Amino acid sequence: MSHALCVIVGDGIGREVVPVAVAVLQRLLPDLRLVEAEAGWDCFQRHGVAVPEATLQAMQGCGAGLFGAVSSPTGVVPGYRSAILTLRQRLGLNVNLRPVRSWPRVSPKAGVDLLILRENSEGLYSGREHWQEEGVAIAERVISRAACSRLASMAAEVAAQRQARRITLVHKANVLPLTCGLFRDTCRAQLEAAGWGAQLDERLVDVAALQLVAQPEAFDLIVTSNLFGDILSDLACHWSGGLGLAPSLNWGNGLALAEPVHGSAPDIVGSGRANPLAAILSAALLLRHHWQRDDLARRVEQAVEGFLREEWRADLAGETTRVVAQGVLARLA
């Protein structure tokens, strides 16, 4: 099997952490072919578009991509739409996968090992906003049976891979009976048909948030909608050491785009303080779920674990990027 990777560094510290993750993949996949592409706020300022057609074509040609980070304006900018939302929607990356696990020396609690699968293309992130009248703005929440079915299908696949002991559907159907009801009923029916009925339960999103704070180790696989999953996964990543260790994978239609969850962090660009562990762990998700190399993904995770246990210091400051890169790569030699 040949391996190709579309490399999109994006904005800010993406330029610093992505090369480290690429070096990790090159160590494990000597035949890896790299294709560089552009996307993000800087790209928009240069070219007037956040995601050029050439980038979409490069992703489709490679099948796998690694995206660094994106800066976004806080207000409306004519013609601009979030680069990562555009990539997800234009490429059919319908599912977002976010693992959360305890790591030595950086996690505040041992024994956490959960995975959040979130629908990635619609919900309140569908981009349907308009003014109803002066002073009243409307956002439309889109939930489709087709998108829920794709999510449930991938949830069944992941559940089998990790031999899930529990699958929790998270929704708010008591308040949103049409949209959350459609999400819940579609996912439940498909997961039951796939043989996961005995492991299946449900939580309202507010209860799930409370329980993720109080008892995160009780969860295994969480399946939820776009906005709920975005919020819950950021909440849950506290248990893995914060956003600096939070990986993700945008997944669907034979394509996969790995993406560290942290932002572009313009305040530390060029300082050497950017932590590449989230990008490295995102690359591990590509190995496991796109290239079907669980053995190599485990090697990456073991290298990260060994580095954190043996070398990590909170005061690395301006040496963080270099020390992490050297420490993880040394353990993959």
Average pLDDT, the chain: 96
157 and 272 belong to one structural domain: no
121 and 232 belong to one structural domain: yes
pLDDT digits (tens, 9 = 90+) for 13-45: 999 999 999 999 999 999 999 999 999 999 999
pLDDT digits (tens, 9 = 90+) for 77-126: 898 988 999 999 999 999 999 999 999 999 999 999 999 999 999 999 98
> Domain ends where: 240, 271, 303?
240
188 and 264 belong to one structural domain: no
Q: How far apart are CA 232 and CA 210, in angstroms?
A: 10
What's 287's domain CATH number?
A: 3.40.718.10
Neighbours of 105 (CB within 10 A): 14
59 and 113 belong to one structural domain: no
**What is the reported pLDDT for 1?**
67
Order of all β-strands in the sheet with 200-204: 33-36, 4-10, 64-69, 255-258, 249-252, 95-101, 113-119, 221-224, 167-171, 200-204
pLDDT digits (tens, 9 = 90+) for 49-75: 999 999 999 999 999 999 999 998 877
The pTM (predicted TM-score) of the whole model is: 0.95
Q: What is the enclosing helix (H) or strand (E) of 236?
A: helix 226-236
158: domain range? Answer: 108-240
303 and 191 belong to one structural domain: no
125 and 36 belong to one structural domain: no
Residue 262 pLDDT exceeds 80: yes
116 and 227 belong to one structural domain: yes
pLDDT digits (tens, 9 = 90+) for 175-206: 999 999 999 999 999 999 999 999 999 999 99
Mean pLDDT of the region 239-246: 94
Known catalytic residues are 125, 172, 206, 230, 234
235 and 249 belong to one structural domain: no
- Number of domains the chain is built from: 2
Residue 103 falls within a domain, yes or no? no
Residue 102 falls within a domain, yes or no? no
pLDDT band with cut points at 50, 70 and 90 for residue 261: very high
81 and 128 belong to one structural domain: no
